[in-house]
Structure 1
Amino acid sequence: MTLVRTLALALAAASIIAPAARAQEALGDLTLTFPDLKAKQGQILIAVFDSPQGWASGKPVRFTNASAAKDPAAAKILALPPGSYAVRAFQDVDGDGKMATNPFGIPTEPYGFSRDAQPNMGPPSFAAAAFEVKAGANAQSLRLN
């Protein structure tokens, strides 16, 4: 009788754990690389957005940083639900935690967007920078100008 009960408990535990494991497998990991940095100093501050609304309001779903001293600089964002994402990043060369700008508001520290979307009198649209994250490994390369 104890063998039957042990097997029943093991099967019950497996049925509880299996959906959680399957849900984890359905998530995507995103590796971001930043090749050809002009200055190998400071941090790259990275904001990840999952909607045009978040992009427009400046409210990322994830925020991380990467050392600019590594070659290439890279960051890994784990466990993203599959979907459309866009990334904004800038290299904080002077270490003050803010993007430095000139008196006209033009950035003086390197910055960039996913899909190397180009700004036009402001940041590009979410659609211009958006890419798909699928379950498993995903990668994007961003050039900072």
Structure 2
Amino acid sequence: MTIKIHSPRPSATRPAALTTLVLIGLPISASADTLTVTVNNIKKAGEIHVAVYDNADAFEADRGEKGGAAPCITEGTIEMVEPGSVNYVYELPPGTYAIGIFHDVNLNNKMDNNFFGIPKEQYGFSNNARAFLGPPSFEAAAFELNGATIQSIDL
């Protein structure tokens, strides 16, 4: 892109004005990468709660049960969806992340479990890490975001 500045007379402010115009065109965070999260196999209408974590402590404390913009969540979304699949796009700095998702069909903002603690609602984790006697570890769900990355998660 060529920037032309026309002035009737030479000015000492010309270099400063050019620098300002160039900086305005730069992104605020030059080191952000794109994370695309595809959620598949949504069986009923309801809210999808997506939580992106950047550390094991936050992931293991929450285990994907909050979603949205909670303090321990790096990035998140809560959105009404219809059956099928849906995509979410996040701009994040490069690093190690894990994702927890649950599908809140009855809209009570929590993961519902049966008497034995087994989830009644659909859920999933990055890397399609499977739960066995509890949610997976951060290590099982963790992935590196370094450039454009897609996580396709089956509920």
Identify whether the pair has TM-score above 0.5, normalized to the shorter chain. Answer: yes
Asked whether the equivalents of residues 41 and 83 of structure 2 are also in contact (C-alpha less than 8 Å), the reply is no
Equivalent residue in structure 1 for 2:105, among 74, 93, 103:
93
Asked whether the equivalents of residues 45 and 92 of structure 1 are also in contact (C-alpha less than 8 Å), the reply is yes
State the alpha-carbon separation in 2 of the partners of residues 36 and 56 from structure 1: 25
* Segments of 4+ moved more than 3 angstroms: none
5+ residue gaps, structure 2, are 1-7, 63-71
Q: Which amino acid aligns with 1:51?
A: N
Q: Which amino acid aligns with 1:50?
A: D
SS in 2 for 1:36: strand
Q: Which amino acid aligns with 2:95?
A: G
Asked whether the equivalents of residues 27 and 134 of structure 1 are also in contact (C-alpha less than 8 Å), the reply is no
5+ residue gaps, structure 1, are none
- The corresponding residue for 1:24 is 29
Corresponding position: 1:113 with 2:125? yes
- The corresponding residue for 1:3 is 10
SS in 2 for 1:21: coil
- The corresponding residue for 2:47 is 43
- The corresponding residue for 1:57 is 61
Asked whether the equivalents of residues 26 and 82 of structure 1 are also in contact (C-alpha less than 8 Å), the reply is yes
Question: Sequence identity, in percent?
Answer: 35
Query: What's the TM-score, normalizing by structure 1?
Result: 0.82
Q: CA RMSD in A?
A: 2.3
Query: What's the TM-score, normalizing by structure 2?
Result: 0.78
Per-residue deviation, 1:122: 1.1
State the alpha-carbon separation in 2 of the partners of residues 103 and 46 from structure 1: 25
State the alpha-carbon separation in 2 of the partners of residues 5 and 113 from structure 1: 57
Per-residue deviation, 1:23: 5.5
Cα distance change, pair 70–121 in 1 and its aligned pair in 2 (3 A): closer
- The corresponding residue for 2:150 is 139
